[in-house]
Structure 1
Amino acid sequence: MSRFESAKELYKAIGVDVDTALKKLAGIRISLHCWQGDDVSGFENRSALSGGIAATGNYPGKARNPDELMADIDQALQLIPGKHKLNLHASYAITDEKVDRDQLKPRHFDQWLQFARERGLGLDFNPTLFSHPKAADGLTLSHPDREIRRFWIEHCKASRKIAAYFGKELGSVALNNIWIPDGYKDVPADRFTPRQRLQESLDEIFSEKLDEKYIADSVESKVFGIGVESYTVGSHEFYLNYAARNHVLCLLDNGHYHPTETVSDKIPSMLLFYERLALHVTRPVRWDSDHVVLFDDETREIAKEIVRCDALDRVFIGLDFFDASINRISAWVVGMRNMQKALLFALLLPHEKLKALQNEGNFTELMALQEELKLYPAGDVWNHFCETHNVPPMQDWIKVVQGYEKNVLAKRG
C-alpha cells in the first residue's frame, strides 16, 4: 500500500473522504500577486515607493520589465499545483503611450489579458493609489484639494472598468480592490472630515453599476502605516460600515490589524452578514511587514474558518507580500503552496465530529483530538496532489528554482 493509500485509510477512519477533499482543493483559485516579482516597482518608472509601501532587501534577479516578470510568474506557476488567478496593480500597465493613471484603459493591459488567457488564469485588479506625484503628501481620495481627489476618483473609475473587462473576457469574476494610504503621522485635529471626503469619493466611484457577473468591488482597511502612525482615514470600522451599506465587499488583510486581532476570528462573523468576503493573506511580523506566507497557526486558522463555514465559493483568497531579501520566485511558490496546504489541512479535518464534541461540552476529547490531528499524514496527501498536477512534491521544487536562478536571474545583473 502506498503512503497516499495508507493516509486515505487513516482519514476514512475518522470520517474524512480524501478524494472529496482533493477535488475541492483543485477547484480553489488563489490570486497570485504580481508585485512580489519586482518589489512593487511597476512599469511607470515615475518615482520611488511611497504611501507606506516598502520592499526591503536587494536579492539579485529582480524582474525589470514585463517580459521578465511574466517569465518569472510562469516559472512560479509551474511549481504551484492547480489553476489560479493573477492579481495586477494599475501601475503594471504595459503601453508605449504616455498615459497617467486617470486615463488608463483596458487596452493598456491587453498583454496581461493574453498572458492570462493562454494559461487559463483569472485576473484581479487594484487601482494604484501610491507612489505617484499626486499622492506625495500621503493623501488621495480624502485629500482636501478637490482636483487631487478628482484625479484619484477617475483613476478608480477607470480601474473598475478594466477589472470588468477582464472578468468578461476571461469568464471569471475579477476582484477590484481599493486601498488608500491616506492618514496622518501625528494626532489629527479633525478625524471626521477626511472620512467624509473619502465616503463622498467612494460614492462617486461606485455610482456606475457594472455587471456583477464580471466584477466584484472591495475596499481594504488598515490600522496604520509608515508615515500615518496616528490616524488612517480608511479604518476597519469605516470600511466595514461603508461596505455593508453600499453592497461592496470588505477585504480583510491579516497584516492590517492590531497584533492581538486575528482575521480568522473575523471571518465567520463577516460571513453571517455579507454574501461574499475578500482576503489578502500575508504574514505580519509585529506589524504589516508583508512577510512570505508560512504554514503557520493563523494561516491554518484562516483556512479552517473558510472550510468550516462552507464558504469556499464565497471568499476571494489572494496573497499580498513582497520580500526582496530572498529569491522572489521562491517567495511566490512558498506562499502559494502554504496557502494550499492550509486549505488541504482544513479540508481533511472531521469538522462535524469536532463541532459535535464542542456542542456536547466534551472539551477534553475535543482538545485531545485536535492535537492528534496535527500529526495526521496530510503531507502524504499533499504530495499526491502535487504529483497528480505534475508539479514537484515536497522540497523537490527548490532545485528547479535554483536552476532558474543560475540560468536566468543571475544574468540580469
Structure 2
Amino acid sequence: MAVKEDFQAAKKQYEKWGIDVEKVFQRLKSIPISIHCWQGDDIAGFEVNQQELSGGIDVTGNYPGKATTPEELRDDLEKALSLIPGKHRVNLHAIYAETEGEVVERDQLEPKHFESWVRWAKENGLGLDFNPTLFSHKKADDGLTLAHPDKNIRDFWIRHCIASREIAAYFGKELGTPALTNIWIPDGYKDIPSDRLTPRKRLKESLDEIYAVEIDEEYNLDAVESKLFGIGSEAYVVGSHEFYMGYALKNNKLCLLDTGHYHPSEVVSNKISAMLLYSDKLALHVSRPVRWDSDHVVILDDELREIGLELVRNNALDKVSIGLDFFDASINRVAAWTIGTRNMIKALLYALLTPNEHLKQLQEEGNFTERLALMEEFKTYPFGAIWNYYCDEMGVPVGEEWLEEVKSYEESVLSKRG
C-alpha cells in the first residue's frame, strides 16, 4: 500500500533527528480532545421551554440536517467520532438535559436528567465534561447573571452552577474520569460603565458561594473562562482575563483560555507557558476567530500549530485539558466536527514530530540562524505521510476519504430530517 510505503520513507527522515514515530503514536493516542456537542444543533439544546439564543451568542447558516433530538445528536456525534482517530470526550451544556417533556428550571436540574448521556458515554468509551448554561434564558435577558444587581437573579444562577457541578461529579463517578465543569457568563455592558468594580465584587461573591460546596476533584474539576468583549458587552466584560486568572490562582481552579476571547493581536499560545509557571493545570477552548470571537471551525493554521508546539515542548500535555468550541451552521455539522477535531490532533502530531529539545538548545546557544532554518524546514517535512498512516492504524479514513462517508451519511440520514 502507498500509505505504508510513504510512511516508511517519512519515518526515516524523522528518525534522523532521534524522533521515535511509534512512541509518538502511543503518546498521541493518550491525549483526549473534549468535543463540544453544540456544533451539532447550533446550540439549541432540548429544553421544553426553549428560548432564542442570547448572551452575545449567534450561529449563522441554515445547512439542512441539524439534530433536533438527543438521539439524533448522539447519532451524529458517533458518526463524527468514527472518522476521528483516538478515544475522546464529549462536552455538554446544561441545556442538553433530557426531562421527558417536563419543564425543569435550570436550577433544579439533576443527574437523572443526563442518565441517557452517561449510558451512551459508557457504551462508546467516552468521558463527559459539562458547562452550566448562563445564556438564552429570561433571567439573562439584560446580559447579567452572576454579577446581576438583583440578588434573586444571582441566587438563581448560583443554584444552577452548584447543580451543574453535582451533575458533573455524577459523570466523573459513573465514567471513572473527572468531568471538567467550566463556567462562562455573558455579563457585561454595551457602553462604557460608570462602575467596573461593583459587578466584579458581585461575581467574586457568587463564585465563592458556588465553590463553597465541596466536590471531590476525583470526580469534578472546576474551570472559569474569561472574555474580552461580546455582542452586547462591547465596552466591558465583568469576567475579564485578569479577573479570572486572579480568581483561579487564588482559589485553586483551572483558568480556561478560549482562543477567540482575546484581542486580535493576542495569541493563547503565548500565554500557556507563562501561566503554567503559576498554575498546575489549565484548560483550553480551541476555536478560530475571524476578526472577532466568531467561533469558526478550527483549521491547521499557524496559531493551532503553535498551541500544539507549546503543549508538547513544555511537557504540558498532562497539565492542559484540550476542548473545542466552534459552531457553524453554514456547512455540514458532522463535517465541521471532523475537520476541527482532526486538525487539533494533527497539530499535536506535528508538535510531537518536531525536534523540540534540539531547537531549545540552539536557542540557548544563541544559534538563531540554525533555529529559524530548521523550524522552517520542518514545516515541509513529510508530516502528511505520518498522519495518513496513523489514521490507517487507528481504523479511520485516510486523507479526504472521510468526506465520502459524511456525504453518504448526509444522503441517508441528514437529508431525511425535517
TM-score of the aligned structures, taking structure 2 as reference length: 0.98
**Alpha-carbon displacement from aligned partner over 1:193-220 (angstroms, at most 9, x marks no partner):** 0000000000000001211111110000
2:72 alignment partner, one of 54, 68, 89: 68
1:212 corresponds to 2:222? no
How many residues are aligned here?
413
Residue in structure 2 matched with residue 30 of structure 1 by the alignment: 33
Which residue identity is paired with 2:197? F
Residue in structure 2 matched with residue 191 of structure 1 by the alignment: 196
1:395 alignment partner, one of 395, 400, 405: 400
Distance 2:307 2:59 in 1: 25
TM-superposed deviation, 1:240:
0.4
2:284 alignment partner, one of 279, 283, 289: 279
Instruction: Give ranges in structure 2 of 5+ residues lacking alignment.
Output: none
Which residue identity is paired with 1:118? E
Which residue identity is paired with 1:358? Q
TM-superposed deviation, 1:168:
1.1
SS in 1 for 2:376: helix
Distance 1:406 1:37 in 2: 17
2:180 alignment partner, one of 167, 175, 178: 175
Residue in structure 2 matched with residue 9 of structure 1 by the alignment: 12
1:300 corresponds to 2:305? yes
Residue in structure 2 matched with residue 268 of structure 1 by the alignment: 273
Alignment of 1:30-179 (within 5 A): 30-44=33-47, 45-96=49-100, 97-179=102-184
Which residue identity is paired with 2:245? L
User: Following superposition, which runs of at least 4 residues in structure 1 exceed 4 angstroms of deviation?
Assistant: none
Distance 1:351 1:234 in 2: 35
Retained in 1: the 8 A contact 2:44–2:50?
A: no
SS in 1 for 2:212: coil
TM-superposed deviation, 1:19:
0.8
Distance 2:147 2:334 in 1: 36
Retained in 1: the 8 A contact 2:227–2:262?
A: yes
1:21 alignment partner, one of 14, 21, 24: 24
Distance 1:151 1:205 in 2: 11
**Alpha-carbon displacement from aligned partner over 1:30-58 (angstroms, at most 9, x marks no partner):** 00000000000000142110000000000
Residue in structure 2 matched with residue 291 of structure 1 by the alignment: 296
**Alpha-carbon displacement from aligned partner over 1:102-135 (angstroms, at most 9, x marks no partner):** 0000010000001101000000000000000111
SS in 2 for 1:82: coil
TM-score of the aligned structures, taking structure 1 as reference length: 0.99
1:322 alignment partner, one of 307, 323, 327: 327
Q: Percent identity, please.
A: 64
1:347 corresponds to 2:347? no
Distance 1:114 1:46 in 2: 24
Distance 1:134 1:90 in 2: 15
TM-superposed deviation, 1:229:
0.4
Retained in 1: the 8 A contact 2:288–2:294?
A: yes
Distance 2:232 2:142 in 1: 10
Which residue identity is paired with 2:59? A
TM-superposed deviation, 1:98:
2.0
Distance 2:298 2:50 in 1: 29
Residue in structure 1 matched with residue 248 of structure 2 by the alignment: 243
Distance 1:270 1:213 in 2: 23
**Alpha-carbon displacement from aligned partner over 1:354-388 (angstroms, at most 9, x marks no partner):** 00110111111111111100011111111111111
**Alpha-carbon displacement from aligned partner over 1:63-84 (angstroms, at most 9, x marks no partner):** 1111111110011011001100
Which residue identity is paired with 1:382? W
